[in-house]
Structure 1
Amino acid sequence: MRRRHPAWRGSCAALVLWAGGVASVHAQEYYTQSDFGGVGLLQTPTARMAEEGEFSFVLSRTTPYTNYNVSMQPLPWLEGSFRYTNVSNRLYGARSLSGSQTYKDKSIDVKARLWEESRWLPAVAFGVRDVGGTGLFSSEYLVASKRAGNFDFSLGLAWGYIGNRGDIANPLNFISDRFRTRPASGTGATGALSINKFLRGRPGFIGGVEYHSPWKWLVLKAELDGNDYKNQPQKNNQPQRWPVNLGAVFRLNGNVDLTLGYERGNIGTAALTLHSNLAKHVGPEKSFDPPPEPVSFTSAPAAAAPPDLGAGQDAAPPPDRKPPAQVDWAEVARTLNANAGINVSSISRRGSELVIQGEQERFFYTAEGAGRATRIVDNRVDNSIDWVTVTSERNGLSTVDTSVHRPRFIELLNHEIDLPTFRRSVEQDPVTSREEEVLYNAPLKRFTGGTSIGYQQSVGGPDAFIFYQVYGAGYGTFNFNRHLWLDGVLAVNIANNYDKFRYDAPSNLPRVRTDVRKYVTSSDITMPNFQLTGTHKLGEDLYGMAYAGMLESMYAGAGGEVLYRPFGEHWAVGGDINWVKARGFDQDFSLRKYHVITGQATGYLDTGFHNVTLAVSVGRYLAGDWGTTIDVSRQFANGTRMGAYATVTTKSGNAGYGEGSFDKGIYVSIPFDALLPNSSRNRATLMWQPLVRDGGARLNKRYTLYTLTNDLDSDLFDKNLGKISQ
């Protein structure tokens, strides 16, 4: 998916579908979000964690602050949050630049549980609030939580904003005198980690109690606020009658919470939380998909009705079984495309094995496509075929053979064996050249294309808080052969407010990204992408790709990539190198003077720990700086992924770097299949980046070999094997 700048990308429509109708499985006891996002009371955090996979959006108002929080729980013991804070009584900047827009602050929070609650010991967590950026609300805390019946008690110590009351001398003073005083502003003023503030200054006590009432829809809260509001950022001090805050959480349904509170002894507060557990989410019924073909169970009585039919459905009798030599394979290929989502390139036979090679274009879970393909074959061939193999192909690259033992599959459908027993009758193997009888070669479809409506937005700029654009897009692909194609996208503006976008971020590096304003405002008709791409399997487990053209909205050029991804392993290594030149601001065929050679070597490792994947890239970036990008993400069984990344280069922290000392962000990637009433291979990816930077900027390639070979992910296949019978 093409990257959008600066802060948000992906499908807004998909997010609306998620927020409005996702059904989640929740534990009987649940933990609610604080005003600042993350599990907590009101102003203060607790040691509690949400269920892994929980995703929450919190809108809270506590005068003069309005917080827009996104919180994610990628691991049982790790919580991450991203937040925009609107300070309603302070202007963003000079009226000549931002008019009457109020100040917006961006921050990232992290909380880690140190140990879980036991019979005698409480749960304990350490966290950091506003870890980077301006550090206006920066704070560190250590907090413990212990449950007693329906009551959940918390007590902790906080430094910085949360503990500004400064109840006691810093217990760390014995280590060094530097812990006695907290700097008024740290390195975070330029976007770096505010590590020179960590655990410094006088801390304050925080704590409180949460009561889970007999009614599941009501939770009551009371907390000791560690902030006295006498040292607020921007000299924005607030009156406080007493340090006890009170609140009530009303669970309106399984995905929506409303919090009403009374804080500082003088103001009412409110918060709305939209939340769902993405790890446990079950997508809507695929009512727009064709039903799988019914099969005739050879071991069942002739009158038995196939168990996969819905109420009121009449099963058409399956075609007569024939020897493979007599089957109309062109008809089989059409049926495989229409019902199993496989765009067939060839069908062949190896003894008692039938091999279907093609690209899965509809079903996110390959097991589902393989099961449908086995049904189709079973209805058409005689008993000389024992195995049905689907060779996964993606843009000309064959990756994995998925083989299903046909008789055992029929036993599974007929409930004669269970899924664990059937698992021994499914194999995944590397694609190898073997002697075979070709039964059918599909003609190449030269041209494909279509239209769509798109949306992009940028959040948090000085000119306006939200810039948006709605556009129409036409896309097309011309295939020279299965390994070489020309494709492109033409976008037409429908509605936007980017005419207000006047701000160019400060930078002393080549403006490789901070010229974004000119790219989005110069023309209503743009060509974001137009490129020639070729792929080739260079050897066993070795994949290659080359490309040239208008590679993204800002850069044209040529490049290549190689990837070594051994079958059955949980690691891969690869690299790319590109010569690129800046495109004209109209995003047509014109070019500007700036050019650079850029590329990175990347190592990927599935750690085996909670399906956490680590990707480390080292190389040269678009501004000519050299550095490293570290990306850590967690993939859940249904394919949803949560992650974070950071890039540090030779220019990071230098005066010439401009706004922000290094690049960082958090993201969530949700399969459309989990959101829509029809199956889809696409994803909605939403990324939050605090700033647009020139340092650490990478080329936004349309294709990458690691994603093109994702069918090699055997863990995702195994965890969703049950879909083979759907």
Structure 2
Amino acid sequence: MRCFLPSSLLASAITVLASAGQAKPGVNIYGVSGVIDMPSAHMRPDGEITTTMARFDTGLRTTLSFQAGPRLSVSFRYSVLRDFPTAQSDTLYDRSFDLRYQFLQERRFRPALTIGIQDLAGTGIYAAEYLVASKTLNNFAITVGLGWGRFGSYKGFENPLGVVAPDWRKRPESEGGISTTGQLDIGQWFKGDAALFAGVTWDTPIEGLVAKVEYSSDAYLQEANKSGFKRRSPVNFGLEYGFKSGAHLGIYSLYGSEIAIQFRTSINPKTPISHPRDPVPAPITDGIQRVDIAQALSVQNIWLHSKHNRSNGLWVWVENRGFGAPAQAIGRVARVLSTHADPSVEQFHVVLMEKGMAVTTVTVDRKVFRTLEFDPDRIPRTRDRFMLRAGAAPSQTWQNIYPSIDQRFGLYGAISMFDPDAPLRFDFGLKARARVYFNPHISLSAVVKKRLAGNISKTTRVSDSILPHVRTDVSKYNKTKGITLERMTFDGHYRLGTDIYGRASIGYLEPMYAGLSAEVLWKPHSRPFALGVELNFVKQRAFDQQFDLRNYRTVTGHVSAYWQMRNGYHLQLDVGRYLAKDIGATITVERVFKNGWRVGGYFTLTDVSFDDFGEGSFDKGLIARIPIRWITGRSKKRNFDLKIQPVLRDGGARLHIANRLYPTLSQSDAQRLNDSWARLYR
């Protein structure tokens, strides 16, 4: 079949007006780098997280995109298509994932070249693949691409890849279909008719104003058949305005029949919202003042467990409960010791502990620490001169601080997303936490909460799972009106030997399960890998989340491997038995930033078939950890954890253990110290 480009669009593509500046990568209404409805080859800034909401006709697209690396981006999209009849209702709530990789970066005489797969694990409504090139010329960005699937549906022609593989000329029907979402229809990718698309983006002389025009290769066949969408023209055009706050607002004419509005905003974990607001630390002095060292450290929310003078210097075992950056805690300890330790001591050996387990020893040269305080190169110079090694076990002479209690009381917020009956629900209320330490290793902790307002409890969906209802009865737990006991456990954490750690927990482990949990972890110091084994015997808790238990019981556990890869990427593999007694594996990949941000995703495959699993076909989701200090500017050892799970089912479900060994120890290991070393003097 023939394809054509409007002469006006071709003229715009080859007529470039000289002006200062350079066009910036835009975002299309699918929420990925693009023109209007079509993708482009450009990438967003490394690490950026972009949220986009686009509304037109009877459709709403909400997309969360993460620039996982300079060349790789991933997106999760939640769309609401009204007047789109399915077997379940007249509204389709669609969840989909995208993946894009730029295998050629733009150069002076070379365009950027990107390959992308859209809707690779969803209903297939938006399924498309593309190969696209983009070139920036002064204030213009020109895009030309070749699309398949949706992007090959208008003015398509025979697939050029059919020359190599003749069976690629025909696109197979989706194996998943709308009713069983989540499968990877790999057999469809880059098959069937292909079509050309193109677009131009112009950064106008008006600051913040961008004009766009494109030729679309998407025929919108499903929307036309299902909801009567009118597609009168392949040409889309529109305007976008970028505010100084970083938000963008766009308005577009789509296909000669619709008006679309888009709003987007972006954040980057590398750029904090708030400037540092920590109190200025005390100056580094070199003398002795008659002040108790334990008391001086406690003001910084650093607990002194043990202190000994040895021939090679002063040894202190401390637990950092105040600073999100462990290197900042090391610096505060060194300041206190410089002021209050005997002047004859030349070296401080600071052992960072987590729940009574010695993790890392940092040897601080007292004179170097003091003389480099105002040196512009103090960070690299101290990193070279201060020694990091495995945590040395203390003697059993503990400071007289036990038993002790750590408690917090405040508001909490909870968000439930992607419930088909209400895509966004929320609760907020009061939450109290307390932990009693009987000694450095053994503690009793409890978390109680009271919901004050919200609508998470108002879901009307009833589980249709044929598996044991290990998670899909969560709505029954959410309906509890009174005070709930979220968790209450006795916990023991021990260093069992060189690089070997152990944990045992008994009690109400999480809102839905009580029982016994134990694990052992081998985590070599300064090595990028670790291995762990966990075993749990649990019973399901009553829906009121008090002290009663239900009849369902199971044994679950995993063997876990952890690998800290280069450039901040982290891989975790868990193999074992899940709560519904299914057996399989979970793969988790995260990007870990030096300031403590973590963004990633996971998927789980078990021996439960896609049909038995139900909607979603297999468990998958996105995860993020946001340090509170990134928002407030105050260095607190607290984080906000976010999990986006498109579909909650029973297959691949795992216990939520609050104090697993690997994340606990990783707060003070060599990698985390090196990442936070810039805060040593803060």
TM-score (norm 2): 0.92
> One-letter code of the match for 2:478?
V
Contact 2:356 2:441 in 1 (8 A): yes
CA distance in structure 1 between the aligned counterparts of 2:512 and 2:98, rounded to whole angstroms: 32
CA distance in structure 1 between the aligned counterparts of 2:171 and 2:376, rounded to whole angstroms: 69
Cα deviation for residue 177 of structure 1 reads 5.2
CA distance in structure 1 between the aligned counterparts of 2:456 and 2:111, rounded to whole angstroms: 51
2:101 to 94, 112, 121: 112
Residue number in structure 2 paired with 1:652: 609
Cα deviation for residue 408 of structure 1 reads 0.9
CA distance in structure 2 between the aligned counterparts of 1:186 and 1:218, rounded to whole angstroms: 44
Cα deviation for residue 499 of structure 1 reads 4.7
> One-letter code of the match for 1:507?
S
Note if 1:53 corresponds to 2:47.
Answer: yes
Cα deviation for residue 663 of structure 1 reads 0.8
Structure 1: which 4+ aligned runs deviate by more than 4 Å?
91-95, 175-178, 433-436
1:394 to 341, 354, 362: 354
> One-letter code of the match for 1:605?
W
Contact 2:525 2:669 in 1 (8 A): no
Secondary structure of 2:431's counterpart equals: strand
> One-letter code of the match for 1:702?
A
> One-letter code of the match for 1:333?
A
Would the alpha carbon gap of residues 142 and 704 (structure 1) be closer, same or farther in structure 2, given more than 3 Å must change? Answer: same
Cα deviation for residue 678 of structure 1 reads 2.0
Would the alpha carbon gap of residues 499 and 641 (structure 1) be closer, same or farther in structure 2, given more than 3 Å must change? Answer: closer
Residue number in structure 2 paired with 1:675: 631
Note if 1:30 corresponds to 2:24.
Answer: yes
Residue number in structure 2 paired with 1:129: 118
1:282 to 272, 278, 299: 272
CA distance in structure 1 between the aligned counterparts of 2:403 and 2:238, rounded to whole angstroms: 62
Matches within 5 A, 1:404-443: 404-415=364-375, 418-433=378-393, 441-443=399-401
Note if 1:321 corresponds to 2:288.
Answer: yes
Would the alpha carbon gap of residues 550 and 28 (structure 1) be closer, same or farther in structure 2, given more than 3 Å must change? Answer: farther
Cα deviation for residue 171 of structure 1 reads 1.8
2:150 to 147, 150, 161: 161
> One-letter code of the match for 1:635?
V
Contact 1:639 1:670 in 2 (8 A): yes
Note if 1:538 corresponds to 2:528.
Answer: no
Would the alpha carbon gap of residues 433 and 554 (structure 1) be closer, same or farther in structure 2, given more than 3 Å must change? Answer: closer
Would the alpha carbon gap of residues 232 and 581 (structure 1) be closer, same or farther in structure 2, given more than 3 Å must change? Answer: same
Residue number in structure 2 paired with 1:312: none
**CA root-mean-square deviation:** 2.3
Residue number in structure 2 paired with 1:486: 444
1:698 to 651, 654, 667: 654
Secondary structure of 2:372's counterpart equals: helix
Cα deviation for residue 28 of structure 1 reads 7.7
Stretches of structure 1 that go unaligned for 5 or more consecutive residues are: 1-26, 96-100, 299-319
CA distance in structure 1 between the aligned counterparts of 2:427 and 2:630, rounded to whole angstroms: 26
> One-letter code of the match for 2:370?
I
Would the alpha carbon gap of residues 605 and 595 (structure 1) be closer, same or farther in structure 2, given more than 3 Å must change? Answer: same
Residue number in structure 1 paired with 2:406: 448
2:214 to 217, 223, 228: 223
Residue number in structure 2 paired with 1:722: 678
Contact 2:313 2:347 in 1 (8 A): yes
Residue number in structure 1 paired with 2:168: 179
Would the alpha carbon gap of residues 281 and 255 (structure 1) be closer, same or farther in structure 2, given more than 3 Å must change? Answer: same
Contact 1:633 1:644 in 2 (8 A): yes
Cα deviation for residue 722 of structure 1 reads 2.3
Note if 1:258 corresponds to 2:249.
Answer: yes
Return 38-47 or 120-129, whichever deviates more. Answer: 120-129
Residue number in structure 2 paired with 1:313: none
Residue number in structure 2 paired with 1:335: 296
Residue number in structure 1 paired with 2:57: 63
- 1:637-692 Cα offsets, whole Å, 9 max, x none, are 22211111110001132x32222211111222221111113221111222221101
Cα deviation for residue 364 of structure 1 reads 1.1
Cα deviation for residue 716 of structure 1 reads 3.4
Cα deviation for residue 544 of structure 1 reads 0.3
CA distance in structure 2 between the aligned counterparts of 1:108 and 1:558, rounded to whole angstroms: 37
- 1:18-45 Cα offsets, whole Å, 9 max, x none, are xxxxxxxxx9863222101111111111
Would the alpha carbon gap of residues 481 and 60 (structure 1) be closer, same or farther in structure 2, given more than 3 Å must change? Answer: same
> One-letter code of the match for 1:626?
I
Larger RCO (alpha carbons 8 Å, 6+ apart): 1
The number of residues matched between the two structures is: 660
Secondary structure of 1:465's counterpart equals: strand
Residue number in structure 2 paired with 1:361: 321
Would the alpha carbon gap of residues 29 and 484 (structure 1) be closer, same or farther in structure 2, given more than 3 Å must change? Answer: farther
- 1:83-119 Cα offsets, whole Å, 9 max, x none, are 1112133478767xxxxx9432111111111221233
Contact 1:224 1:244 in 2 (8 A): yes
Identity across matched positions, percent: 31
Matches within 5 A, 1:501-516: 501-516=459-474
> One-letter code of the match for 1:256?
A
Contact 1:616 1:631 in 2 (8 A): yes
Would the alpha carbon gap of residues 433 and 83 (structure 1) be closer, same or farther in structure 2, given more than 3 Å must change? Answer: closer
Would the alpha carbon gap of residues 430 and 496 (structure 1) be closer, same or farther in structure 2, given more than 3 Å must change? Answer: same
TM-score (norm 1): 0.87
Contact 1:47 1:125 in 2 (8 A): yes
Cα deviation for residue 464 of structure 1 reads 1.9
Contact 1:463 1:500 in 2 (8 A): no
- 1:404-434 Cα offsets, whole Å, 9 max, x none, are 2111111111438643223222111112358
Contact 1:617 1:629 in 2 (8 A): yes
Matches within 5 A, 1:543-582: 543-582=501-540
Contact 2:112 2:133 in 1 (8 A): yes
Stretches of structure 2 that go unaligned for 5 or more consecutive residues are: 1-20
Would the alpha carbon gap of residues 233 and 537 (structure 1) be closer, same or farther in structure 2, given more than 3 Å must change? Answer: farther
CA distance in structure 2 between the aligned counterparts of 1:370 and 1:448, rounded to whole angstroms: 21
